[in-house]
Amino acid sequence: MEEKMNNKGVTGWLIWAIIFLIIAIVAGIFGFGLISGYSFIIAKWLAVIFVILFIIAVIAHTIKRA
């Protein structure tokens, strides 16, 4: 029986990145530049971490199947 990959940790990073991106957009609309800037930086880093973890997960899954 083949085990399924647990993607919950990987998608969790993406969800947090989207949340911080929404906070950045809303703060930018209402003129809170400092909050908007920091939220965007956090969202950007979380998105980068998500992409790195996703690539590692794909490579690990490919190696495991081989």
In a domain, 51, yes or no: no
* 8 has a pLDDT exceeding 70: no
20 and 43 Cβ atoms separated by less than 8 Å:
yes
Structural domain boundaries enclosing 40: 15-45
Of residues 10 and 34, which shows the higher confidence score? 34
Structure-block tokens of residue 15: 């969800």
d(CA 33, CA 58): 37
CA-nearest of 15, 42, 14, 13 to 27 is: 42
The identity of residue 56, as a single letter, is: I
In a domain, 20, yes or no: yes
In a domain, 34, yes or no: yes
The model's pTM is 0.69
Structure-block tokens of residue 66: 């081989």
In a domain, 22, yes or no: yes
In a domain, 31, yes or no: yes
pLDDT tens figures, 19-28: 888 999 999 8
User: Which pLDDT does position 15 carry in this prediction?
Assistant: 85
pLDDT tens figures, 51-63: 898 899 999 999 9
In a domain, 63, yes or no: no
User: Which pLDDT does position 60 carry in this prediction?
Assistant: 92
Instruction: State the total domains in the chain.
Output: 1
